[in-house]
Structure 1
Amino acid sequence: MAATKQPGRLSGRHRRPPETRITYREVVAVREFRALWLGQGMSLLGDQLAQVALAVLVYSRTGSPLATAAVYALTYLPPIIGGPLLAGLADRHPRRRVMLSCDLLRALALGAMAVPGMPFAALCALVFLVVLLGAPFTAARAALLPEVLEGDRYVVGSALQNVTNQAVQMLGFAAGGASIAVLGPYRALALDCATFLASALVIVAGVRRRPAPHRGEGGRPSMWTMTAAGARLVFGERRLRTLVLFAWLCGFYVLPEGIAVPYAATLYRGDLSVPAITGLLMAAMPLGTVVGAFAFGRFVTPSCRLRGMGWLAMLTCAPLVLCAMRPPLEWVLALWVLSGVGGAYQLAANAAFVQCVPSAGRAQAFGLVQSGLLAAQGVGILIGGAAAQRLGPEPVVALAGAAGLSVAAVLAMLWTESRTEIISTVRAPAT
């Protein structure tokens, strides 16, 4: 006897399966992810220590603030150049091999930098090389991670890495000065060299070999061919263009960190020094990002992340508009932390981007997006600094928030037209 279908209910065939939430414990249980996670944490901690060591070393040898700033600026330029050109190496060669080569070459360069008496010009060239090699390493790692963590595990793993990176950066900068006072700048650089060697050992032990993505009868395509193909891939499809613009939105909401020192001077009130206030301001957004990424990855279902992406993108910029009211320090910190919480939308944008990009061109695509990301941050901070010189920091932060909010609202509307297909693919299959 055939069963009758009750009105108002979905049949079993059309009932949507429940979405499962992946836990951090499940992600950490994946051996290859542990290796990538541990290696990244070690090398990042060493990098933060090395940045402080370089600043101390260059200033002590030259006595020039300009030279010190120039060496620091070298950490921004190479990825913008190297991302589009070198990221494709991870699509032409096995990604594990690319990561190992970059780690070993960076360790060699840092070992040379740690030699006392290294000429200033050679020091600058080595800094440029170390940061340049980070572009293919990051692209290879970003392209490999979706193969290590499939489905929602990728988002949760990305959230865990984001939390770890923010925490390591804060720890590295906070402990860097004290460590260099004990070790000295040259030993600190040698320690950074050791972290890259340790990262290489972890990758050898924990990440399995995979073939190069491009294996055709016609041989591997040239670097220029792959760069052009990556640009066509990223910017030739509407969904990908929207996701890329979501990523580059950070050019608006990172601007306050670039003018934190003059902003701190306006908040000076006697009981806290300007450097202390600057440290609080610069830590506010990373703190919000840690909280937002943890909650977003742990407690929000995959489809809800994608649906809420536009709203969170607007949240990154909306609190900054209130800085026009010149609130006191406590309120400014709360607003900046809230802005950092909204930045968790980048996890959903990253996951959606991975779903839309084929594996064979993933590294090149990530490299292009990363280069644009750094360029957006650098240009945003540069424009913000010039504007703050004339208008003051509070109105500039508010204007950046208003402009970013407007762009985020447009992107949110565009995203509603593209997200349906992606959301349908993140639901667990019926069993």
Structure 2
Amino acid sequence: MAATKSGRLPGRHRRPAERRATYGEVIAIREFRALWIGQGLSLLGDQLSRVALSVLVFERTDSPLATASVYALTYLPPIVGGPLLAGLADRYARRRVMITCDLLRAALVALMAVPGTSFSALCVLVFCVVLLSAPFSAARAALLPELLEGDRYVAGSALQNMTNQGAQMLGFTLGGILIMGMGPYRALALDSATYLASALILVAGVRRRPAPCSPDEKRPSMWKMTRAGAGLVFGDPRLRTLVLFAWLCGFYVLPEGIATPYADELTGDPRQLSLVTGLLMAAMPTGTVVGAFLFSRYVSPSDRLRSMGWMAMLTCAPLILCAARPPLVVVLLLWFTSGLGGAYQLAANAAFVQYVPAGQRGQAFGLVQSGLLASQGIGILIGGVAADHLGPELVVALAGAAGLVTAAALAVLWRRSRREVIERVRVEANT
């Protein structure tokens, strides 16, 4: 068959380029801007308080297990109440749910900032603060697809993800420096103020919307909503695989939970402990910020989905090299590279929202978020126990090896169902 003047064979057409939304058009949306700024403020305070708690507990106990246990409490509460509380985002107005959660968390963190608070009281307060993150995160995640459509949702998710990781990067890095000067209790007070600021921004910037359930409609019980959400998420093999990809972070977030004892092994100098802890905690979030920007800006929607398996394996593979006990600079580079791979979560999130009905998004996202936090909390708790016996370097390497095997298995499962998901996301991206 003869070629045309352009060099292309007749009858063959290039597939139209997939449209990629820009960050500018997403930030121009007022309500998204309010969600984004409020999220950044509260997350920055959260990371600062995590460093404060980690240093405070390690100084009191000198125990990696105790340090990891309190850090794990920032992830574990969703196991207890997350799936049930997430349903509030589908029963009540999502704006109201978020504002109420912010105000309650501000009050609880203010109590944590009282000097001399006992260790047991501190643990209870941490548990309650994180428990309230379940309905807040579910309401925000369910509201986002109403504000952003098509590839704008991916761009918006990327911005929120970069904000999340950027807040961790700044909070962990600056946290180590600030705590040296202001002390852990004042850092906790600053966290309380960020929740109040977030609530005020939501009041001013997000308009009122009715609850997903009509006032005249008979509302199902929380238990029935939880069962329906679990059936939706785990009954569909595509959604199930995407959820497992999200929960993979339990392996590669583990190093953050034992960053303080890891820093102690690297430096042996108590004066530099908080600074090195902050640098270690910031390494992965920094990588994720860079990865999320490149992934969302320069990779097409369908190619993001095709590369998910490889990116997931990249999050875990570098951690295995920590078994060689490299110096601080090399450890930071390995953890940064691990963070780069974490950008695959953007593709998993975008695909997930395509298959969840709007009226069940709060419950579905809440279940995923609860499992996400729970997987991280369990991983960190196990890592703390193991680090007491094996040392933090070997524990990080073992977590990387286990995560790599799991990611490879998920990549195989994903290949079986990704074609249909890619076609659907491609259509949405071009609308």
The two structures have a TM-score, normalised by structure 1, of: 0.85
**Residues 1:103 and 2:110 aligned together:** no
Per-residue CA shift, 1:224-278, capped at 9, x if unaligned? 11111111111111001101110111122223333434544555599x9666554
TM-superposed deviation, 1:331: 3.4
Report the CA distance shift for 1:185/1:128 in structure 2 as closer, same or farther (over 3 A): same
In 2: Cα distance, 1:71 partner to 1:266 partner: 20
Report the CA distance shift for 1:287/1:425 in structure 2 as closer, same or farther (over 3 A): same
Match of 2:350 in 1: 351
In 2: Cα distance, 1:36 partner to 1:374 partner: 21
In 1: Cα distance, 2:57 partner to 2:265 partner: 30
Alignment of 1:216-295 (within 5 A): 218-264=217-263, 267=266, 277-295=276-294
TM-superposed deviation, 1:361: 1.2
Report the CA distance shift for 1:333/1:52 in structure 2 as closer, same or farther (over 3 A): closer
Taking only aligned residues, the RMSD between alpha carbons, in angstroms, comes to 3.4
Match of 1:410 in 2: 409
Identify which range, 326-335 or 406-415, moves more after superposition: 326-335
| Structure 1 runs not aligned, ≥5 long | 1-5
Match of 1:336 in 2: 335
| Structure 2 runs not aligned, ≥5 long | 1-6
Report the CA distance shift for 1:389/1:103 in structure 2 as closer, same or farther (over 3 A): closer
Q: Are the aligned partners of 1:35 and 1:202 in contact in 2 as well (CA < 8 Å)?
A: yes
Identify which range, 123-132 or 272-281, moves more after superposition: 272-281
Q: Are the aligned partners of 1:44 and 1:168 in contact in 2 as well (CA < 8 Å)?
A: yes
In 1: Cα distance, 2:266 partner to 2:51 partner: 26
TM-superposed deviation, 1:127: 3.8
Report the CA distance shift for 1:324/1:130 in structure 2 as closer, same or farther (over 3 A): closer
Alignment of 1:96-135 (within 5 A): 96-112=95-111, 125-135=124-134
Report the CA distance shift for 1:393/1:197 in structure 2 as closer, same or farther (over 3 A): closer
Match of 1:200 in 2: 199
The one-letter amino acid paired with 2:314 is: L
Identify which range, 408-417 or 206-215, moves more after superposition: 206-215
Q: Are the aligned partners of 1:81 and 1:371 in contact in 2 as well (CA < 8 Å)?
A: no
Report the CA distance shift for 1:82/1:37 in structure 2 as closer, same or farther (over 3 A): same
Structure showing greater radius of gyration is: 1
Match of 2:34 in 1: 35
TM-superposed deviation, 1:101: 1.5
Alignment of 1:159-178 (within 5 A): 159-176=158-175
**Residues 1:142 and 2:141 aligned together:** yes
Secondary structure at 1:99 match in 2 = helix
The two structures have a TM-score, normalised by structure 2, of: 0.85
Secondary structure at 2:77 match in 1 = helix
In 1: Cα distance, 2:98 partner to 2:400 partner: 37
Q: Are the aligned partners of 2:295 and 2:343 in contact in 1 as well (CA < 8 Å)?
A: yes
In 2: Cα distance, 1:190 partner to 1:265 partner: 27
TM-superposed deviation, 1:129: 2.9
TM-superposed deviation, 1:31: 0.9
Per-residue CA shift, 1:96-147, capped at 9, x if unaligned? 1111121222234345555678787666544433322221011100111111
Match of 1:3 in 2: none
Match of 2:4 in 1: none
The one-letter amino acid paired with 1:305 is: R
Q: Are the aligned partners of 1:155 and 1:351 in contact in 2 as well (CA < 8 Å)?
A: yes
Q: Are the aligned partners of 2:56 and 2:184 in contact in 1 as well (CA < 8 Å)?
A: yes
TM-superposed deviation, 1:10: 4.5
The one-letter amino acid paired with 2:339 is: G
Secondary structure at 1:16 match in 2 = coil
Q: What percent of counterpart residues are identical?
A: 71
Q: Are the aligned partners of 2:172 and 2:278 in contact in 1 as well (CA < 8 Å)?
A: no
Secondary structure at 2:211 match in 1 = coil
The one-letter amino acid paired with 1:252 is: F
In 1: Cα distance, 2:147 partner to 2:121 partner: 38
**Residues 1:398 and 2:387 aligned together:** no
Report the CA distance shift for 1:266/1:74 in structure 2 as closer, same or farther (over 3 A): closer
The one-letter amino acid paired with 1:383 is: I
